[in-house]
Structure 1
Amino acid sequence: MIVMPRTLDTARLHLRPPVAADAPAVFDYAGDARVTRFLDWATHLDLDDSRGFIDDVHWGWESGDDFCWVLIDRASDALVGTVGCQFDAHGAQFGYVLAHDAWGRGLATEATAAVFDAAREIDDVARFWATCDVDNRASARVLDKLGMREEGVLRRWSERPNHPGASGPRDVRVFAWVR
């Protein structure tokens, strides 16, 4: 079982596991088609979808191999997104999502860097990686800023159910940092 810190703090963010009361704030971004366009999970249609997500996150923490934190903007005390880290035989995989109003401020890089740094404290993990849709240039910039190297394109790797015109799996760029 992997142990990750339950809370992390950066200059502008407080990261903590989500709680049931976060469902409306999660729905605010997870129900926004602009936000979910490149993601591999469906846009939330109602609060029950967001509640189900929070329940899943709870079980990920309990299992000790799938961790997700909500991002709380210290200046406004608003929940502005999530960052996650899953551990498996291949290493640690990262993912993140930000509310549309939080885009362009470097918060995805700041939050993911905090989780990335915590995960790198686990000596047994040699590979740290993430994917992003080939059209998602902003996400690719985040991964580049973290010091991950682009390894290539995984053809027809994963579904992007919210991408306009998507039918079937889409190509993704894969980035990694290897010990």
Structure 2
Amino acid sequence: MHPVELKGPRVSWRELAVADAQDMHDLMSDPQVFRYMSDTEVPEVAAYEAFLIEYCATITEPERIRYKLALTLDGELIGSGGVDLSPSGRKSEIGYMLASRHWGKGLATEAAALLVDFCLDTLGTHRVWATTDVTNHASRRVLAKVGLREEGVMRGYSFKDDVWHDSVMHGMVATDERPLRG
């Protein structure tokens, strides 16, 4: 499926483009956002450009398993995220990040709901899952609001800043009841 365009009442997802490299760098440079990322340092703009050039070359592949998306509000990039499919295409992992100036407005919930619906309704996956740092209570609430249940803590799941961090696994399957969207 190309190009991906998911529209909600306020936010939209679209394919990331090479022109988004500076905005991605700026987003990740926010310490409040970066603290929950698995990266150990913010990549330089040139590294984002190189990644996006490589990624954009794959988005028309028929057996696509990766969707890297820009989250926009009124055309402005305010976050990013995406979907990674298992090789069988039956399971999908979602992820998202949102500029801190937009936290607390319900935009992350709307964005995550669009990703869940895309996985289940468009891609036809059976299982959708996400992980988040145990201390990221806002993201845990977002995932619960869009229907993903906490399934357990994965101890020592990621290593950043010389510390092992625990993560919470969240998931849902296609037969689970989804919260009303509105």
TM-score, normalised via structure 2 length: 0.83
Q: Say whether 1:12 aligns with 2:10.
A: yes
Deviation at 1:84, TM superposition (A): 0.8
CA distance in structure 2 between the aligned counterparts of 1:32 and 1:149, rounded to whole angstroms: 29
The answer for unaligned runs of 5 or more in structure 2 is 175-182
**Amino acid in structure 1 at the alignment position of 2:85:** F
For 1:82 and 1:110, locate their aligned partners in 2 and report how far apart those are by CA, in whole Å: 13
CA RMSD of aligned residues (A): 2.1
Aligned to 2:73: 73
Once the two structures are superposed, residues 68-102 of structure 1 have per-residue CA deviations (whole angstroms, 9 ceiling, x without a partner) of: 2101102xx32100121100157100100111212
Confirm whether residue 176 of structure 1 aligns to residue 174 of structure 2: no
Instruction: In structure 1, list runs of 5 or more residues that go unmatched.
Output: none
Kindly tell me: are residues 123 and 9 of structure 1, through their superposed partners in 2, closer, same or farther at Cα, counting changes over 3 Å? closer
**C-alpha spacing 1:137/1:57, structure 2 compared with 1 (3 Å):** farther
TM-fit CA distance, 1:25: 1.2
1:22 aligns with 2:50: no
Report % sequence identity.
Answer: 31
For 1:16, give the aligned amino acid. Answer: R
Structure 2 distance, partners of 1:53, 1:123, is 24
Decide which moves more: 37-46 or 101-110: 37-46
Per the TM alignment, residue 121 of structure 1 is displaced from its structure 2 partner at its CA by 1.7
Aligned to 1:52: 50
Offset, 1:172: 0.4
Partner of 1:135: 135
* Counterpart-to-counterpart distance in 2, 1:137 and 1:52: 33
d(CA) in 1 for partners of 2:158, 2:39: 10
Equivalents in 2 of 1:9, 1:124: separation in Å?
18
Aligned to 1:37: 35
Aligned length: 170
Q: Distance in 2 between matches of 1:123 and 1:46?
A: 32
**In the alignment, which residue of structure 1 is the partner of 2:97?**
97
The residue aligned with 2:154 is 154
**Contact 1:68-1:84 at 8 Å conserved across structures:** yes
